[in-house]
């Protein structure tokens, strides 16, 4: 099939490369020339395992190409996916101005039937707005359909998530649109939920809100565990083995971040409020998450006594492993809070350091964890990168001024840390001092 995707970011580029892998002919459109020029040479603008290989492969097969022109995309394809950003406004509401601009441009370029598919995460009823905008922007009466096809990929494993999803959701209002989208996804051989557009839009927000709720739930249990001397890791194991609950998203830590959970939660609360529903449950999820970040700073203070004048080493900046994405990363808030309290910060991250230099000032960036450890009063783990799990802990300790480790991701066994001579503070488990 001939498909174009407007917006070649984390979602659009993965979608484009994976559709090409599925055998479709794909054109990715982006108006950011700084991204587009390297993409045309097979160089991807962010860190995502396996993606560059796929992009290069299909530039070669000729099934994937790039263009700055929406007009070209619409001319060459029967299906046009919209995958532009939908960032948060200060009110929490999603900013849909990019979606609107793109919808208009698509309409201006249309001459015959097209299926326009929302891939971006959008509030319920956006499909209706897209339809209205296209209808009013068409130069003459042309048949078209709008559909919703929310994306559930996770950064860091986006290619795998796209090619082997748990399910695909499509929201349609005509048999024709349904048939086209079923054909687009047929090569994936995955369960497909077909529904109306509004329900599909809500499925995405409900899914992300539920996952955020699981994380805040276990973090609340972690807070209780610390107060009473219980172990949240064991609790999560015991709770998560119940198939009705499931093990995933029950890791206590510094809270969720990234470009989606916080934004989508705020948007969903806003949508509900506009519909007259006060979604208190989700407001509490937000509150707990914010509290987690502040709690880490207090935990570091508890570990080193006075923060002022101390040197703290941070291991991990990205909001999760295997990505260089720093959007709403807890590390950024935590580092800024520490700096406000007069702390000198050293930091490292396997992928996100170049990005971090744009956001953070006054931080000494180091090539690896051992360089960070040299002379610090305390080390703090904020992202569960595999290289940190594999650290040579004796060597690490020998480099530090004081062997104090605050583990925001529960990477190590507290008893082992005690035997190695660390003062070890983790999340939702009793603090251990040697």
Active site members? 260
CB 88 within 8 A of CB 267: yes
Under rule CB under 6 A, residue 137 binds ligand NAD: no
Under rule CB under 6 A, residue 17 binds ligand NAD: no
The binder of ligand NAD chosen from 48, 155, 226, 407 (CB under 6 A)? 155
> Which residues are CB-neighbours of 28 under 8 A, at least 6 positions away?
4, 5, 8, 12, 13, 16, 39, 64, 65, 66, 67
Closer Cβ to ligand NAD, 102 or 269, answer by number: 102
User: Among the candidate windows 31-39, 162-170, 389-397, 402-410, which touches ligand NAD by CB under 6 A?
Assistant: 31-39
What the block records as the tokens of 102 is 């793109």
Closer Cβ to ligand NAD, 26 or 363, answer by number: 26
> Which residues are CB-neighbours of 129 under 8 A, at least 6 positions away?
96, 99, 100, 103
Q: How many residues does the chain have?
A: 434
> Which residues are CB-neighbours of 368 under 8 A, at least 6 positions away?
348, 387
Under rule CB under 6 A, residue 259 binds ligand NAD: yes
The binder of ligand NAD chosen from 8, 26, 222, 265 (CB under 6 A)? 8
CB 146 within 8 A of CB 122: no
Residue 400 to residue 378: CA distance in whole angstroms: 8
Size of the site for ligand NAD (CB under 6 A): 26
Smallest separation, CB 155 to ligand NAD (Å): 5
Under rule CB under 6 A, residue 51 binds ligand NAD: no
The binder of ligand NAD chosen from 121, 225, 251, 348 (CB under 6 A)? 121
- Report, in this order, helix, strand and coil percent for the chain, each rounded to 5: 45, 15, 40
Under rule CB under 6 A, residue 86 binds ligand NAD: yes
Smallest separation, CB 127 to ligand NAD (Å): 14
The binder of ligand NAD chosen from 3, 4, 10, 312 (CB under 6 A)? 10
Closer Cβ to ligand NAD, 15 or 289, answer by number: 15
> Which residues are CB-neighbours of 163 under 8 A, at least 6 positions away?
18, 21, 22, 188
Under rule CB under 6 A, residue 148 binds ligand NAD: no
Under rule CB under 6 A, residue 130 binds ligand NAD: no
Closer Cβ to ligand NAD, 11 or 400, answer by number: 11
Beta-bridged to residue 312, according to DSSP, are 345, 378
Under rule CB under 6 A, residue 429 binds ligand NAD: no
Smallest separation, CB 121 to ligand NAD (Å): 4
Under rule CB under 6 A, residue 209 binds ligand NAD: no
Under rule CB under 6 A, residue 205 binds ligand NAD: no
To which H or E segment does residue 292 belong?
helix 280-304
Under rule CB under 6 A, residue 153 binds ligand NAD: yes
Residue 318 to residue 308: CA distance in whole angstroms: 25
Beta-bridged to residue 425, according to DSSP, are 406
Smallest separation, CB 274 to ligand NAD (Å): 19
In the bound state, the residue with its beta carbon closest to ligand NAD is 9
CB 325 within 8 A of CB 155: yes
Order of all β-strands in the sheet with 423-425: 363-365, 344-348, 311-315, 378-381, 404-407, 423-425
Under rule CB under 6 A, residue 7 binds ligand NAD: yes
Closer Cβ to ligand NAD, 262 or 313, answer by number: 262
Q: Give me the 213-252 binding string for ligand NAD, x by CB under 6 A, dash otherwise.
A: ----------------------------------------
CB 278 within 8 A of CB 239: no
Three-state secondary structure call for residue 23: coil
| Contact footprint for ligand NAD (CB under 6 A) | 6-12, 29-32, 35, 83-86, 98, 101-102, 120-121, 151, 153, 155, 259-260
């Amino acid at each position: 099939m001939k498909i174009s995707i407007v917006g070649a970011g984390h979602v659009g580029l993965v979608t484009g490369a994976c559709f090409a892998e599925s055998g479709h002919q794909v054109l990715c459109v982006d108006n950011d020339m700084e991204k587009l020029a390297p993409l045309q040479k097979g160089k991807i603008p962010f860190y995502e395992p396996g993606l560059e290989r796929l992009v290069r492969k299909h530039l070669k097969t000729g099934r994937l190409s790039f263009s700055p022109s929406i007009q070209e995309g619409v001319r060459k394809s029967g299906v046009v996916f919209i995958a532009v950003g939908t960032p948060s406004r200060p009110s929490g509401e999603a900013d849909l101005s990019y979606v609107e601009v793109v919808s208009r441009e698509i309409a201006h370029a249309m001459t015959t039937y097209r299926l326009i598919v929302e891939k971006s995460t959008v509030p319920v009823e956006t499909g209706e707005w897209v339809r209205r905008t296209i209808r009013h922007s068409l130069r003459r009466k042309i048949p078209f359909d709008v559909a919703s096809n929310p994306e559930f990929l996770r950064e860091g494993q986006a290619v795998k998530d796209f090619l082997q999803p748990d399910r695909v959701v499509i929201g349609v209002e005509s048999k024709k649109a349904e048939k086209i989208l079923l054909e687009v996804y047929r090569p994936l051989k995955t369960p497909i939920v077909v529904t109306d557009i509004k329900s599909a839009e809500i499925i995405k927000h409900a899914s992300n809100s539920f996952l955020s709720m699981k994380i805040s739930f276990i973090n609340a249990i972690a807070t209780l565990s610390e107060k009473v001397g219980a172990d949240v890791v064991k609790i999560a194991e015991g709770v998560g083995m119940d198939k009705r609950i499931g093990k995933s998203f029950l890791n206590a830590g510094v809270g969720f971040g990234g470009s989606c959970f916080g934004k989508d939660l705020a948007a969903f609360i806003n949508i509900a409020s506009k519909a007259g529903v006060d979604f208190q449950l989700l407001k509490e999820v937000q509150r707990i998450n914010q509290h987690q970040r502040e709690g880490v700073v207090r935990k570091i203070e508890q570990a080193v006594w006075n923060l002022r004048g101390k040197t703290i080493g941070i291991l991990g900046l990205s909001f999760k492993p295997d990505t260089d994405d720093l959007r709403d990363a807890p590390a950024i808030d935590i580092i800024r809070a520490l700096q406000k309290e007069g702390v000198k910060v050293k930091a490292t991250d396997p992928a996100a350091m170049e990005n971090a230099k744009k956001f953070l000032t006054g931080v000494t960036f180091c090539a690896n964890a051992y360089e960070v450890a040299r002379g610090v009063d305390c080390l703090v783990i904020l992202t569960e990168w595999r290289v940190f799990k594999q650290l040579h802990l004796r060597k690490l300790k020998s480099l530090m001024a004081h062997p104090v480790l605050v583990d925001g991701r529960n990477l190590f066994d507290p008893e082992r840390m005690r035997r190695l001579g660390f003062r070890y503070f983790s999340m939702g488990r009793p603090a251990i001092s040697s």
